[in-house]
Structure 1
């Protein structure tokens, strides 16, 4: 097995360029921030970007936890790759990861300044420092289930093939972890309620939310709510519409995965104008 190290300081764009570096060397497997990645799929491990602190992130990236390391070692033995690219912030870190995962000695090292210009490196550092953005070299759909509550942004990388023609060569995800330089962030249950209330109030046929309950879990959120609907609407069809719109909007605005959204049509009301028309009809008769 050939083991190649890709070295550069934190925030200089290693994860962004990892797929290119691996592809140029005929390598299909990448170890980056606690994950074993093959192509566009996470094979094993857990992301250091899910840790709540910077120290925890570093420990995760170094596979200090025995269960974490064993999980990745088992996957490596199972797939038996011809080569692995290990990302690290220093020569020592790359070598420590290889040793921890019981891999052969690192035979080649690629440095970030060999594959990125000084301007590109400075630009990446600025983005990391000012926006707290980190890249994971897999598509967003692959990591979304494990990154509930993190701000995710898909990033597609194209290569020019000719005049006006481009080839998609890789998909990545931009995340903003809680340990980012901008500090921690929390999305309160009340904020989620406000989003849902706004969405629901703009759907014709819904009068109001009469009960709302949300539970936050690491894998996502569970929502239960009762609705007061307007008499005359198609209830089943309306509830499906509400469910889809709420899921779309909450996931778009918060990056939280909605694991369950249970809606109950609790009661019906007449719209004010319909009630008034009804009274006028009674009096005229």
Structure 2
């Protein structure tokens, strides 16, 4: 197994370029901020961005928690990748990660200055300091599973290098706002979720009234139970599907939470009075 490391100070754009470097090196696995990413999936680990403090985030990134460390070691031993790319703020940090995960000695250190210009690094620092945003090298849906209550935006990376033949699926990344920024931890109340779902359902053509709505929430998933009155002219099956689609779209887009199920009950139909 060959182990590579991408090294650079915090906020210099390492995660943004990790997928491109991994693809160039032929590394199947990226380890970044406590997460193990293979291809387009977060397959193991715990994100440092879930921690409420910077100290907690550093400990997570260094795999100091025993169960976290064991889970990642077991995954790596199971898939036996030929090459791994580690990300860290210093050679000491990536050496420590390699040691804790019982990986071979790092084959090569790649410094951010080798693959990014001064202008690009300044831009990355500005994104971190002014907007408190950090890139996780995985698709939006994968990041949502790991960070359900963090503000998430997709980032499409387009390669302009002529003749590039890489896996285009690796080029989709996500920008997150860490929970330990000046914005504090993002908490979404049950009332807010009910309001979003009610608004979404009421906007569906054919819905006359939302009679009852219940939100059942686990740590990362939301189930919705909704009872509606439809217009007499509505097609029940089609309108019910539209309600499910609209609620799912609104909640997942506005909150980053994942919808587990949406159960729609049609309690009756409304007959318009003839004047």
Q: Is the 8 A contact 1:98 1:105 kept in 2?
A: yes
Q: Is the 8 A contact 2:46 2:146 kept in 1?
A: no
Give the structure 1 partner of residue 31 of structure 2.
Answer: 31
For residue 266 of structure 1, give the secondary structure of its aligned residue in structure 2.
strand
Give the structure 2 partner of residue 55 of structure 1.
Answer: 55
Rounded Cα–Cα distance in structure 2 between residues aligned with 1:46 and 1:247: 26
4+ runs deviating over 6 angstroms: none
Give the structure 1 partner of residue 12 of structure 2.
Answer: 12
For residue 223 of structure 1, give the secondary structure of its aligned residue in structure 2.
strand
Give, in angstroms, the shift of residue 162 of structure 1: 4.5
Rounded Cα–Cα distance in structure 2 between residues aligned with 1:239 and 1:113: 54
Give the structure 1 partner of residue 264 of structure 2.
Answer: 263
Q: 1:87-141, CA deviations, whole angstroms, 9 ceiling, x for partnerless residues?
A: 1112221111111111122232122122212221121111112222111112223
Rounded Cα–Cα distance in structure 2 between residues aligned with 1:141 and 1:2: 29
Q: 1:134-159, CA deviations, whole angstroms, 9 ceiling, x for partnerless residues?
A: 11112223333333233222222222
Rounded Cα–Cα distance in structure 2 between residues aligned with 1:10 and 1:183: 19
Matched, 1:124 2:114: no
Question: What's the TM-score, normalizing by structure 1?
Answer: 0.86
Matched, 1:103 2:120: no
Give the structure 2 partner of residue 178 of structure 1.
Answer: 179
Unaligned runs of 5+ in 2: none
Question: What's the TM-score, normalizing by structure 2?
Answer: 0.89
Give the structure 2 partner of residue 3 of structure 1.
Answer: 3
Larger radius of gyration: 1
Rounded Cα–Cα distance in structure 2 between residues aligned with 1:27 and 1:265: 52
For residue 190 of structure 1, give the secondary structure of its aligned residue in structure 2.
helix
Rounded Cα–Cα distance in structure 1 between residues aligned with 2:18 and 2:217: 34
Cα 1:248–1:212 shift into 2, 3 Å: same
Q: How many residues align?
A: 273
Give, in angstroms, the shift of residue 167 of structure 1: 8.7
Matched, 1:226 2:227: yes
Rounded Cα–Cα distance in structure 1 between residues aligned with 2:113 and 2:92: 18
Rounded Cα–Cα distance in structure 2 between residues aligned with 1:103 and 1:264: 54
- Map 1:1-285 → 2, pairs under 5 A: 1-162=1-162, 168=168, 170-271=171-272, 275-277=273-275
Cα 1:233–1:276 shift into 2, 3 Å: same
For residue 138 of structure 2, give the secondary structure of its aligned residue in structure 1.
coil
Q: Is the 8 A contact 1:149 1:256 kept in 2?
A: yes
Give, in angstroms, the shift of residue 10 of structure 1: 1.4
Give the structure 2 partner of residue 280 of structure 1.
Answer: none
For residue 173 of structure 1, give the secondary structure of its aligned residue in structure 2.
strand
Give, in angstroms, the shift of residue 39 of structure 1: 2.6
For residue 171 of structure 2, give the secondary structure of its aligned residue in structure 1.
strand
Cα 1:237–1:26 shift into 2, 3 Å: closer
Rounded Cα–Cα distance in structure 2 between residues aligned with 1:210 and 1:109: 61
CA RMSD of aligned residues (A): 2.4
